[in-house]
Structure 1
Amino acid sequence: MGYLEDQAAVADGLLSLYEATFDPRWLDEIRSLVGEMLTAFWDDGSGAFFDTAKDQEQLVVRPQDVTDNAIPSGTSLAVDVLLRAGMLLGEPSWTERAQRTLERLAPTAAKAPLAFGHLLTALDFHLGPVVELAVIGDPGDSQTDRLLEVVRERFLPNRVLAAGAGPGAIPLLTDRQALGGKATAYLCEHFVCQTPTQDPGELARQLDAFRAKALAS
Structure 2
Amino acid sequence: LKNASFIADNMMKADGGLFHNHKEGKSTLNGYLEDYASVIDAFLGIYEVTFDEQWLKKAESLAEYCLENFYDDASGLFYFTSKQDEFVIRRTLETNDNVIPASNSIMAKNLFYLSKHLYKESYEETALNMMKAVQGNFDEDVSGYANWLHLVLFTANPFYEVAILGPESLEDRKFLQQNYLPNSIMAGALGESYLPLLEKRYVDGETFLYVCQKGSCKLPVSAPTEALNQIQPRQNNFF
Q: Give the TM-score band, short-chain normalised.
A: 0.7 to 0.9
Q: Which residue of 2 aligns with 1:184?
A: 208
Per residue, is there more helix in 1 or in 2? Answer: 1
Q: What stretches of structure 1 of length at least 5 have no aligned partner?
A: none
* Structure 1 residue 191: Cα displacement: 2.3
Provide, for residues 9-45 of structure 1, a one-character-per-residue CA deviation record: whole Å limited to 9, x for no partner.
0000000010111111112211211111111110112
* Structure 1 residue 197: Cα displacement: 1.1
Q: Which residue of 2 aligns with 1:56?
A: 85
Aligned partners of 1:43 and 1:50 also within 8 Å: yes
User: C-alpha separation between the residues in 2 aligned to 1:128 and 1:115?
Assistant: 22
Q: Which residue of 2 aligns with 1:136?
A: 165
Aligned partners of 1:150 and 1:203 also within 8 Å: no
Aligned with residue 150 of structure 1, among 172, 175, 178: 175
Q: 1:208 to 1:48 in 2, by over 3 A?
A: closer
Letter in structure 1 aligned against 2:187: A
User: C-alpha separation between the residues in 2 aligned to 1:207 and 1:126?
Assistant: 15
Aligned partners of 1:8 and 1:77 also within 8 Å: yes
* Structure 1 residue 65: Cα displacement: 2.1
Secondary structure of 2:90's aligned partner: coil
Q: Which residue of 2 aligns with 1:166?
A: 192
Q: 1:129 to 1:207 in 2, by over 3 A?
A: closer
User: C-alpha separation between the residues in 2 aligned to 1:145 and 1:56?
Assistant: 42
Cα root mean square deviation, aligned: 2.0
Q: What stretches of structure 2 of length at least 5 have no aligned partner?
A: 1-29
Q: 1:176 to 1:190 in 2, by over 3 A?
A: same
Q: Which residue of 2 aligns with 1:106?
A: 135
Percent identity between matched residues is: 29
Aligned with residue 86 of structure 1, among 112, 115, 123: 115
Q: With CA pairs under 8 Å and 6+ residues apart, which has the higher RCO, 1 or 2? A: 1
Give the number of aligned pairs.
209
User: C-alpha separation between the residues in 2 aligned to 1:199 and 1:132?
Assistant: 16
Letter in structure 1 aligned against 2:75: S
* Structure 1 residue 98: Cα displacement: 1.1
Aligned partners of 1:147 and 1:203 also within 8 Å: no
1:43 lines up with 2:72 in the alignment: yes
Aligned partners of 2:98 and 2:144 also within 8 Å: yes
User: C-alpha separation between the residues in 1 aligned to 2:107 and 2:225?
Assistant: 36
User: C-alpha separation between the residues in 1 aligned to 2:231 and 2:129?
Assistant: 31
Q: 1:120 to 1:204 in 2, by over 3 A?
A: closer
Q: Which residue of 1 aligns with 2:219?
A: 195
